[in-house]
Structure 1
Amino acid sequence: MGRYVVKRCFHALIVLFLVATTVFFIMRVVGDPATLMLDANATVEEYEQLKENLGLNDPLPVQYVNFLKDMVTLDLGNSYRYKRPVIDMIGEALPHTLELVGLSMLVAIPLAMMVGIIAAVKRNSWLDNLLTALTITGRSMPTFWLGLLLMYLFAVVLKWLPPSGSGGFKYLILPAITLSMGLATSTVRLTRNSMLSVIRQDYMTTAKAKGVSPTQLLVGHGLRNSLVGVITMIALQVGNLLGGSIVVETVFSYPGIGRVLVTGILVYDYPVVQASIVIMAALFVGINLVVDLLYTVIDPRISVQ
């Protein structure tokens, strides 16, 4: 077990290293950061001063080593546009994104798994066909379009919820529903398919013959044995949630890290863009690491293998 944990943590560190390296070089391939950040009226002195502040006068290998060291120590520099430490900006925005992603998962996963189980139990019935059609419809909707549609219906027409901004739980509802749609539809489909595969196994027939109740049969035997595939998909979908949060936070003017990233890109705030991407990648890698370790709880054979 200990060897498995160490191995997974080592893999996670390698992925983070590769992401940070990719971000470092891509940010320099697109052009001279100082030139892109300054407007056309900037003087030569301002240009040289900005290059000095960003450490761009150092040789590229030195810049790379300093970049990695700063990432490890969370010394993310200062925002050129807002004249604030980047770590403070991300520290203010990150809790909002975690609330949004967390609520989206809390809404999507239990409901979607329940719908998937029902669809599997009632396979090929009118209910299964209806749930499948609704799932495909929800999956087909672009995130930004669904957000605008919900905003128009519940904020403009019905006036039940605020259209944008932050300030309490009610501001989270529409963004969370919008963000959770992709995860929910994927979870429904995979849960249904996994349950159909498990239901046909011999041990399910044996348990049923021994008089196991339908609820215990589905939850205790069927669902647990289908969870590995479902959890794998959910872990991969977390990346989509983090990526989708960029769109959702922009549509709803929600002050999360996705909106910080978009704003930084628009004004080419070099330190903000660089740090935001690495932090979001670290979140994704961290969540997948937790899921990898969770596998050993669901199926102890994984740690042995």
Structure 2
Amino acid sequence: MFKYILRRVGYMLLTLFIISTVTFFMMHLIPGDPLGAMANKLPEQAKANYYAKYGLDKPLFEQYTIFLKQLITEGDLGESLKYPGKSVTETLLTNSKVSGVNGAIALTFGVSTGIIMGIIAALNKNKWTDYLITFIAMMGITIPAFVLASMFQYLFSVKWQLLPTSGWGEPKYMILPIMTMCIGGQATYVRYIKANMLEVMGQDYIMTAEAKGVDRFHVIKDHVMKNAFLPCITILVGQISGIFTGSFIIEKMFGIPGLGFYYVSSINDRDYTMIIGTTIFAAALFVVAQLIIDIAYTIFDPRIRIK
């Protein structure tokens, strides 16, 4: 296990190196000047000082070398070009917490309710409860998040005036975005749990256990549930890594100062350092999640062995 983790960590670092390198050069290949109008309004000497501060007066490869050295030795992603003096690393940590709070609550509710509904649907196949839960899940999957957000804002904010339309800072501002994000995850787990349980329940060893007189509760608990949940680990861990990067659509509509909203703003502002930093942060979360998935599989299913 230790050798496997060590090897995977090496692959992770290589992946992050490639991603950061490609992102860095792609950003600098975009036509135009990242400082643009801000620097053009300054006197020539001030403009030269401004470019020197961010190293933009140096050749591209030298800029890359400085960036990589700071990243490896200090973990420093530099300063924002749009907001001078604002650290990219600090911004990522601050805004990812905002996204993480909403995302974690939404994921918890979505997963827990989705699993329960999926189990009920599977155990009541072709009954009215199955049809109702399947209909709810299909609606959750097919209706886009921005449509749900608009509907909730209209109903709860405009029509009934129960909750604020947008904002941040108090628990009441979190309810609508959490409801919006929760529904998509809930629908996904309903589908996966129901499909996996029905597949497992049709296996020969389940029929054999029932034929031997094992009561249905223990068959479901000891055999069906464990094997049905295993494929969902991949989705769950991937979603956990994604909650910190936020959903720019939801955050934009509800005025949440999360990382997703900030990422889109940095693209519009051509804030190179912020774009590169956010991309590396998201990539790091993803590759770590993949390692956790592999380890989690071995914990939940001892038959799987990693080498």
With normalisation by structure 2, the TM-score equals: 0.88
Letter in 2 for 1:278: I
Aligned match of 1:289: 291
Q: Is 1:122 the counterpart of 2:124 in the alignment?
A: yes
Aligned match of 1:71: 71
Distance 1:163 1:210 in 2: 58
Q: CA deviation at 1:251?
A: 1.0
Q: How does 1:183-202 map to 2 (within 5 A)?
A: 183-202=185-204
Question: Which stretch shifts more, 30-39 or 158-167?
Answer: 30-39
**CA root-mean-square deviation:** 2.5
Distance 2:106 2:169 in 1: 17
Aligned match of 1:131: 133
Aligned-partner SS, 1:34: coil
Letter in 2 for 1:137: M
Question: Which stretch shifts more, 185-194 or 11-20?
Answer: 11-20
Distance 2:105 2:37 in 1: 36
Q: CA deviation at 1:37?
A: 6.0
Distance 1:98 1:125 in 2: 38
Aligned-partner SS, 1:163: coil
Letter in 2 for 1:198: V
Percent identity over the alignment?
A: 32
Letter in 2 for 1:249: E
Aligned match of 1:24: 24
Aligned-partner SS, 2:287: helix
Distance 1:119 1:18 in 2: 44
From 91, 97, 107, the equivalent of 1:105 is 107
Shift in alpha-carbon separation, 1:82–1:60, aligned structure 2, 3 A: closer
Q: Is 1:81 the counterpart of 2:82 in the alignment?
A: yes
Shift in alpha-carbon separation, 1:58–1:117, aligned structure 2, 3 A: same
Q: CA deviation at 1:224?
A: 0.9
Where in structure 1 are there 5+ consecutive unaligned residues?
A: none
Q: CA deviation at 1:116?
A: 1.4
Q: How does 1:122-161 map to 2 (within 5 A)?
A: 122-161=124-163
Q: CA deviation at 1:31?
A: 2.2
Where in structure 2 are there 5+ consecutive unaligned residues?
A: none
Q: How does 1:238-249 map to 2 (within 5 A)?
A: 238=240, 245-249=247-251
Aligned-partner SS, 1:301: coil
Distance 1:168 1:296 in 2: 41
Distance 2:182 2:11 in 1: 28
Aligned match of 1:278: 280
Letter in 2 for 1:285: V
Shift in alpha-carbon separation, 1:92–1:243, aligned structure 2, 3 A: closer
Shift in alpha-carbon separation, 1:252–1:45, aligned structure 2, 3 A: same
Distance 2:270 2:210 in 1: 62
Aligned match of 2:268: 266
Letter in 2 for 1:26: M
Is the contact made by 1:38 and 1:47 (CA closer than 8 Å) also made in structure 2?
no
> What are the superposed Cα offsets for residues 133-181 of structure 1, whole Å, 9 maximum, x if unpaired?
2212111111122112112212222233232222233322221221233
Shift in alpha-carbon separation, 1:65–1:181, aligned structure 2, 3 A: farther
Aligned match of 1:300: 302
Q: CA deviation at 1:298?
A: 0.6
Q: CA deviation at 1:115?
A: 1.3
Distance 1:180 1:33 in 2: 40
Distance 1:37 1:137 in 2: 46
Aligned-partner SS, 2:247: helix
From 203, 206, 215, the equivalent of 1:204 is 206
Aligned match of 1:222: 224
Shift in alpha-carbon separation, 1:219–1:14, aligned structure 2, 3 A: farther
Aligned-partner SS, 2:230: helix
Q: CA deviation at 1:47?
A: 4.5
Shift in alpha-carbon separation, 1:2–1:240, aligned structure 2, 3 A: closer
Is the contact made by 2:149 and 2:177 (CA closer than 8 Å) also made in structure 1?
yes
Is the contact made by 1:120 and 1:192 (CA closer than 8 Å) also made in structure 2?
yes
Letter in 1 for 2:207: T
